[in-house]
Amino acid sequence: LAKFRADPLKYVGTVTDPVTRERFRPDRNHPKLVRDGRIIWFTKVENVERFRAGPEAYMPPMIGMQGD
């Protein structure tokens, strides 16, 4: 977990912008924020602002591991 936290982009694959539902592979130029301990990447800054205005509409549910 420490390695992931130090450089999450090294380990992440394709993600989904929660606002536009666009699938993309983030890089250091993509905006992101951390919410409830999760890193959320966006395709553009405008989507971050839309997300902040109403995150409940965009947050996917937390899915736990089987047995949690």
Got the DSSP string for the chain?
-HHHHH-GGGT---EE-TTT--EE---TTS-EEEETTEEEE-SSHHHHHHHHH-GGGTPPPP-PPTT-
- Check residues 44 and 37 and name the one with the higher pLDDT: 44
pTM over 0.75: yes
Write down the pLDDT at residue 2. 86
| Mean pLDDT across 8-13 | 90
Looking at the predicted structure, is the pLDDT value of residue 66 above 80? no
pLDDT of residue 4: 85
Tell which wins on pLDDT, 60 or 42.
42
> Is the pLDDT reported for residue 64 higher than 80?
no
